[in-house]
A = this chain, B = another copy of it.
Amino acid sequence: MARPITLFTGQWADLPFAEVARLAADWGYQGLEIACWGDHLDVARAAEDDDYVAGRREILDRHGLSVYAISNHLAGQAVCDDPIDARHRDILSGRVWGDGDPEGVRQRAADEMALTARAAARLGVDTVIGFTGSAVWKYVAMFPPASQELIDAGYRDFADRWNPILDVFDEVGVRFAHEVHPSEIAYDYYTTERTMAAIDHRPAFGLNWDPSHFVWQGLDPVMFLWDFRDRIYHVDCKDAKLRTGNGRRGVLGSHLAWADPRRGWDFVSTGHGDVPWEDCFRMLNTIDYAGPISVEWEDAGMDRLVGAPEALAFVRSLAFDPPAAAFDAAFSGAD
């Protein structure tokens, strides 16, 4: 099988990187999608310090693991967000948060994303995954009325802040893969179209396809792959379960914590939710996606040490290769 199965380390960043590498390798993962937080990857050091990079590589090599992509959702989130508040403080490094002045945070976050591109390049990786943030997400209810001019301004703000970052990506030969996700500038089908248009479809900006939020938004993750097939730069296997249906649980989740039984949907271990995984993997074959299949494991109702190896087995069973030849050759009627 050409496509390696990797583990995203983002939900394991409370553990040392070396420990996560050991666990992943023991379970049989072939590589890691390394999160740029916890002690997993310091992009500032990686962008400049060859020894640091060599050290990360050594840990991977020791466990026979590859790396195809690094992820910096948390810094990316702050590039366009408005407001910037305590939630960001809790997830950003001191280097980016600084004094917490919103515009300063945004600019330092943009610098951090440029650094992340450089870190990727130095690590020999051509893809950085992340979020963009959004100045207009907060208008999602469209009340008080948010004019299309106001929304347009949000997309311009995104383009103005990300184009310079993407210039650095182009400079170092790395691509950014945005994860389509509520709270981001692109969170569904049509906002993805609008986002692409805002930056003139420049190839530096593509997508990290993660179908979990498609489930509760009523979106089809399979045809999304087909329609955006030239921009699928990375694949994250996170799953979600829709639990509306009894008339009390709402699709917006009621601001309730994960695993609260009153939520209308929740993240679940890959294969336990509503994502039509087999159809997704078949479509990845169809569009000739050749990158890694990365497990983003998140399930507030299951022990991750049980779930992560189970998810690997699940993905392996369905992410099969396409056949070499068409089958109806066998019907030809030669004597």
Q: Which A residues form the contact surface with B (CB < 8 A)?
A: 10-14, 37-38, 74, 77, 82-83, 86-95, 97, 136-146, 148, 150-151, 154, 181-183, 187-191, 194, 216-220, 222-224, 226, 241, 243-259, 261-262, 264, 272, 278-279, 282-283, 285-286, 298-304, 306, 320-324, 326-335
Residues of B within 8 A of A306 (CB): 320-321
The one of B150, B216, B262, B301 in contact with A322, judged by C-beta atoms closer than 8 angstroms, is B301
Nearest CB in chain B to that of A262: its residue: B190
Contact check, A93 vs B301: say whether CB atoms are below 8 A apart: no
The one of B90, B148, B154 in contact with A144, judged by C-beta atoms closer than 8 angstroms, is B90
Complex Cα–Cα for A326 and B147 (A): 11
Contact check, B258 vs A245: say whether CB atoms are below 8 A apart: no
The one of B154, B217, B323, B324 in contact with A250, judged by C-beta atoms closer than 8 angstroms, is B217
Given contacts A244-B218, A322-B303, is CB(A94)–CB(B140) below 8 Å?
A: no
The one of B250, B257, B323, B329 in contact with A219, judged by C-beta atoms closer than 8 angstroms, is B250
Copies of this protein, total: 6
Complex Cα–Cα for A229 and B266 (A): 21
The one of B142, B278, B300, B327 in contact with A272, judged by C-beta atoms closer than 8 angstroms, is B278
The one of B255, B321, B334 in contact with A151, judged by C-beta atoms closer than 8 angstroms, is B255
Complex Cα–Cα for A10 and B302 (A): 32
User: Can you report 6 residue pairs joining A to B where beta carbons are below 8 Å apart?
Assistant: A90-B333, A137-B138, A140-B253, A218-B245, A259-B322, A261-B282
Contact check, B332 vs A250: say whether CB atoms are below 8 A apart: no
The one of B138, B216, B254 in contact with A138, judged by C-beta atoms closer than 8 angstroms, is B138
- Output the least CB separation between A143 and chain B (Å): 5
Contact check, B261 vs A286: say whether CB atoms are below 8 A apart: yes
Which of A82, A218, A286: most chain B CB closer than 10 A? Answer: A218
Complex Cα–Cα for A175 and B38 (A): 50
Nearest CB in chain B to that of A224: its residue: B247
Complex Cα–Cα for A18 and B298 (A): 45
Extra pairs beyond A188-B254, A223-B248, A301-B322 (20, CB < 8 Å): A11-B328, A86-B150, A87-B150, A90-B333, A91-B333, A137-B141, A140-B252, A140-B255, A142-B258, A144-B183, A145-B331, A182-B252, A189-B248, A191-B254, A217-B250, A218-B244, A222-B247, A259-B286, A302-B320, A302-B321
